[in-house]
């Protein structure tokens, strides 16, 4: 009896282990990522932000210098007006108008360019983040990775299901060229 | 003491055998370089594009020129001689849709020619190689136009070899994209994978 029972128990245990392993493997693997953190700590975002700030500062300096010239000329015109120097006023007025137009045009163009640049950079950043998170999910066998962005898309999740740090490390390593093999 | 020496020798022999580079025939060598798992042909997908970087040792380029299995060492060396001084890569950009690179995601025909112009003449300025701590500009550049015959668009690239040449250094290609909308693309070939390249065994020496 003992001789029959022992192999039977062994077979049952092994079968159950396999079955449990199979069931576990079939279960969806779910995790969530704090997208705000990934976005803000993404190396590419930091690089582009620096680039954008440099460009915006340069543009601001250009505008400031134009504004200064405009203010000086405006004060000169006011002096002409107060002293009744009509000839001086007539002579310098077209110059003031031209400078004012140039200032306004540049201000508008810079605003539009800054906006377009911000949008373009943001699109590029998200394109890369989305790709790397997708690669991460595939490589680590996740069924779903949910993105929490602080707007209420994930209202509650167990702490153990957060993979932000892993994703961030993967995203930054992929950006630096590992080709998704990290 | 003798026993210790014997044990060390026993441990060292398999280690030396495993570290020794294997010898490959020309065909095997070419396949080895191309095989993705060997780390010399690395790809990365961003948005609608796949970027693939192939590291090309001199022997690989020489073998690809002739495709002669019976090439002699002398013939090979002759082919390699003018290549020296630069390190070579092929960057392949493939569109997801299978379209020609210039046509992907454009809305006007003028964009096609703008892109073509950029790819032929200006993209070189946006490419660099981080070799260890050195950042090298792209000194050799050729865009292989495929006239819409396939999804692959090849860029043949060459970079100087830094003076303090160390073959064990990682090499990262940097593309500061201006037209594809992907942003900066970086692809790395690990120095270890370059060091592991097997020796080429020629049939006739």
Contacts of B42 in chain A (CB under 8 A): 177, 179, 181
- 8 A C-beta contact, residue A107 and residue A34: no
CA–CA separation, B87 vs B64, rounded Å?
16
Closest residue in A to B187 (Cα–Cα): A177
Question: Three-state DSSP class for A146?
Answer: strand
CA-nearest of A159, A132, A128, A133 to A145 is A133
Q: Which CATH number belongs to the domain containing residue A135 in this structure? A: 3.30.910.20
pLDDT of residue B6: 65
pLDDT of residue A115: 95
Determine, yes or no, domain membership for A83: yes
Strands A30-34 and A144-148: parallel
Phi/psi-derived region of residue B90, left when phi > 0, alpha when psi is between -120 and 50, beta in every other case? beta
For chain A, the straight-line distance linking the first and the last C-alpha, in angstroms and rounded, comes to 54
Of B45, B172, B182, the CB nearest to A177: B172
Q: Which residue has the tokens 């006239």?
A: B147
Options 3.30.300, 2.60.40, 2.40.128, 2.170.120; CATH for B19-200 is 2.60.40
Determine, yes or no, domain membership for A18: no
Provide the domain limits for residue A64.
27-178
Determine, yes or no, domain membership for A8: no
pLDDT of residue B21: 66
Confidence check on the interface: ipTM exceeds 0.85, yes or no: no
CA–CA separation, B116 vs B121, rounded Å?
8
**B47 at A interface, C-beta within 8 A:** yes
**Confidence band, pLDDT 50/70/90 cuts, at residue A173:** very high
CA-nearest of B65, B109, B84, B88 to B154 is B88
Cβ atoms < 10 Å from Cβ of B130: 18
Cβ atoms < 10 Å from Cβ of B28: 14
CA–CA separation, A118 vs A136, rounded Å?
27
**B186 at A interface, C-beta within 8 A:** yes
pLDDT of residue B99: 84
Determine, yes or no, domain membership for A144: yes
Q: Is the pLDDT score of A152 beyond 80? A: no
Sheet holding B171-176, edge to edge: B41-46, B49-56, B86-95, B152-160, B134-144, B127-131, B171-176, B184-189
Question: Three-state DSSP class for B205?
Answer: coil
- 8 A C-beta contact, residue B170 and residue B36: no
- 8 A C-beta contact, residue A161 and residue A31: yes
pLDDT in tens, A54-110: 999 999 999 999 999 999 999 999 999 899 888 888 989 999 999 999 999 999 999
**B28 at A interface, C-beta within 8 A:** no
Q: CA Rg, chain A, in Å?
A: 32
Of B44, B173, B184, the CB nearest to A44: B184
H or E, element range at B49: strand B49-56
**B46 at A interface, C-beta within 8 A:** yes
Cβ atoms < 10 Å from Cβ of A112: 10
Cβ-defined contact of A120 to B181 (cutoff 8 Å): yes
Tens digit of pLDDT at every position of chain B (205 positions): 565 556 555 555 555 545 556 788 999 999 999 999 999 999 999 988 999 999 999 999 999 987 778 888 888 999 999 999 999 999 999 998 888 888 888 888 898 999 999 999 999 999 999 998 899 999 999 999 888 888 889 999 999 998 766 667 899 999 999 888 899 999 999 999 999 999 998 876 6
Question: Three-state DSSP class for B157?
Answer: strand
């Amino acid at each position: 009896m003992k001789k029959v029972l022992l192999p039977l128990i062994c077979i049952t245990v092994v079968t159950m282990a396999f079955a449990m392993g199979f069931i576990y493997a079939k279960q969806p693997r779910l995790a969530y990522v704090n997208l705000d953190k990934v976005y803000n700590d993404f190396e590419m975002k930091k690089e582009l932000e620096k680039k954008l700030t440099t460009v915006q500062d340069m543009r601001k300096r250009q505008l400031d210098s134009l504004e200064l010239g405009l203010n000086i000329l405006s004060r000169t015109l006011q002096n002409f007006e107060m002293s009744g120097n009509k000839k001086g006023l007539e002579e310098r007025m077209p110059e003031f108008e031209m400078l004012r137009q140039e200032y306004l045009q540049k201000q508008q163009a810079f605003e539009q360019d800054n906006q377009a640049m911000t949008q373009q950079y943001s699109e590029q950043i998200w394109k890369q983040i989305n790709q790397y998170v997708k690669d991460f999910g595939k490589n680590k066998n996740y069924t779903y990775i949910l993105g929490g962005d602080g707007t209420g898309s994930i209202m509650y999740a167990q702490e153990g299901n957060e993979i932000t740090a892993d994703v961030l490390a993967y995203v930054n390593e992929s950006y630096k060229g590992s080709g998704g093999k990290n | 003491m003798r026993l210790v020496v014997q044990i060390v020798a026993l441990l060292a022999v398999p280690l030396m055998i495993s570290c020794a580079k294997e010898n490959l025939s020309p065909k095997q060598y070419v396949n080895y370089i191309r095989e993705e798992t060997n780390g010399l042909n690395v790809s990365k997908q961003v948005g609608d594009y796949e970027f693939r970087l192939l590291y090309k040792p001199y022997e690989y380029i020489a073998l690809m020129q002739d495709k002669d299995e019976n090439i002699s060492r002398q013939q090979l060396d002759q082919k390699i001689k003018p290549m020296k001084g630069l390190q070579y890569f092929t960057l392949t950009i493939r569109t997801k849709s299978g379209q020609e690179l210039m046509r992907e995601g454009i809305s006007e025909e003028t964009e096609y020619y703008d892109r073509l112009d950029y790819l032929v003449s200006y993209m070189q300025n946006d490419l660099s190689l981080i070799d260890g701590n050195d950042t090298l500009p792209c000194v050799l550049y050729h865009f292989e136009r495929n006239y819409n015959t396939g999804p692959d668009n090849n860029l043949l690239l060459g970079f100087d070899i830094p003076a303090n040449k160390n073959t064990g250094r990682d090499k990262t290609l940097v593309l500061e994209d201006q037209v594809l909308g992907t942003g900066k693309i970086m692809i790395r070939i690990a120095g270890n994978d370059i060091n592991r390249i097997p020796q080429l065994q020629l049939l006739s020496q």
